Amino acid sequence: MKCVHCNGEHPDGFKFCPVTGKEIVQSFKACTNPGCVDFNKHILPPDALFCPRCGQKIDKIGAEYEGESYNYDNRHTKSDNNDKVVSRTSYALGMSIAQNIRNSGITSVNIDDFIVGAKAIFAGARPAISFQDATEILDKYFAKLKA
Taking the domains of the chain in order of start, what are their residue ranges?
A: 1-69
Pairing mode, strands 27-30 and 64-66: antiparallel
User: Given a cut of 90, is residue 135 above it in pLDDT?
Assistant: yes
Closest C-alpha to 29, from 20, 37, 38: 38
Residue 63's identity, in one-letter code, is A
What is the pLDDT at residue 81? 65
Confidence at residue 65, expressed as pLDDT on a 0 to 100 scale: 42
| 11-20 mean pLDDT | 82
pTM of the model: 0.46
- DSSP assignments along 30-71, one per residue: EB--TTSTTBT-EEE-TT--B-TTT--B--STTTEEEPPP--
pLDDT in tens, 92-126: 888 889 888 888 888 888 888 888 888 888 888 88
Per-residue model confidence as pLDDT tens digits over 46-91: 778 888 999 988 865 334 444 444 444 544 444 566 777 787 888 7
Please check whether residue 19 is in contact with residue 6, taking contact to mean a CB–CB distance below 8 angstroms: yes
